[in-house]
C-alpha cells in the first residue's frame, strides 16, 4: 500500500507558535477595582494608624545592649513614679502587692479611723528621753515609769485593736483569704498618721 506524502508544513512548523498559543488563550482579568501600587501583592494595604504604630515600635526597639539598659531604667523609673502617686492617692492599680486588695484597704481604713496609742510613741519617746537626761533623781524615776506605762498601753491597745480588727474582717470578708491582714493593720498603727503610706483615705471617727 503506497504511503501518502507528509506535508512539509507539518514537519517544519514553528514550535514557538505552539508554546505561545496557550498564553494567548489565558483568561483576562477585567476587574475594574484599582490596586494600590505600593501594596504588596496578595495583601491588603495596611491602615495609616497600623503603619504608624509599626513604625513607632520599630523605632523604639533597642538595637544595642546600652539602649536596652537605658530603656529598662526609664521603664523602672516610670513604674516607681506611678507607685509613688498611687501611695499618695490610693490608686489600687499601681499599689505594691502588700497593699493591694479590698481586705488590706479595709484594714488601713479601720486603723486610720481611730486613735492608736502606738502612733504617739515617737513624740512620747522624745519627751521621756529628755526627762531621763535631767540630773534629778526624781525626774529620772518619773521618766522610767513613763517608759513602762507607755509600753504597757501600746501592748494593751495592740491586743484590743487586733482582736476587734480580726472580728470586723471576718464579718466583712467571710469567704476571702484574710491571712496577714491583722498584722498589716497593727504595723500601720505603729506609724504616725501623717507618715503612713498609702495616705489615709478616711477621717478619724469615720466608719470604714
CA distances from 85 to 90, 197, 202 (A): 8, 11, 18
Q: Provide the Cα torsion 13, 15, 20, 21; round to 10°.
A: 50
Which among 99, 92, 91 has a CA at the least distance from the CA of 181? Answer: 99
Q: How big is the CA angle at 92 (ends 86 and 95), to the nearest 5 degrees?
A: 55
pTM, to two decimals: 0.63
Q: End-to-end alpha-carbon separation of the chain, Å?
A: 120
Q: Quote the DSSP letter at residue 117.
A: G
Please tell me the distance from the alpha carbon of residue 77 to that of residue 57, in angstroms, as a whole number: 20
- Buried-state track 106-125, b at ≥16 Cβ within 10 A, e below 16: bbbbbbbbbebbbbebeebe
Residue 178 per-residue DSSP state: -
- Residues 45, 38 contacting (CB under 8 angstroms): yes
Cβ–Cβ under 8 Å, residues 85 and 95: no
Q: Which parts of the chain register pLDDT below 70?
A: 1-63
pLDDT given at position 93: 81
Amino acid at each position: 500500500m503506497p504511503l501518502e506524502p507528509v506535508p512539509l508544513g507539518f514537519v517544519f512548523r514553528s514550535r514557538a507558535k505552539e508554546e505561545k498559543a496557550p498564553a494567548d488563550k489565558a483568561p483576562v482579568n477585567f476587574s475594574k477595582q484599582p490596586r494600590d501600587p505600593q501594596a504588596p501583592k496578595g495583601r491588603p494595604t495596611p491602615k495609616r494608624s497600623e503603619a504608624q504604630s509599626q513604625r513607632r515600635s520599630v523605632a523604639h526597639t533597642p538595637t544595642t545592649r546600652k539602649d536596652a539598659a537605658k530603656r529598662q531604667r526609664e521603664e523602672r523609673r516610670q513604674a516607681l513614679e506611678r507607685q509613688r502617686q498611687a501611695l499618695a492617692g490610693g490608686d489600687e492599680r499601681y499599689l505594691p502587692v502588700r497593699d493591694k486588695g479590698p481586705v488590706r484597704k479595709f484594714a488601713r481604713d479601720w486603723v486610720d479611723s481611730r486613735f492608736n496609742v502606738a502612733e504617739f510613741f515617737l513624740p512620747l519617746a522624745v519627751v521621756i528621753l529628755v526627762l531621763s537626761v535631767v540630773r534629778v533623781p526624781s525626774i529620772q524615776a518619773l521618766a522610767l515609769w513613763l517608759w513602762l506605762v507607755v509600753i504597757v498601753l501600746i501592748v494593751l491597745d495592740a491586743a484590743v485593736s487586733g482582736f476587734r480588727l480580726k472580728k470586723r474582717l471576718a464579718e466583712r470578708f467571710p469567704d476571702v483569704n484574710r491571712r496577714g491582714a491583722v498584722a498589716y493593720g497593727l504595723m500601720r498603727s505603729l506609724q504616725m498618721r501623717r507618715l503612713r503610706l498609702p495616705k489615709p483615705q478616711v477621717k478619724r471617727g469615720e466608719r470604714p
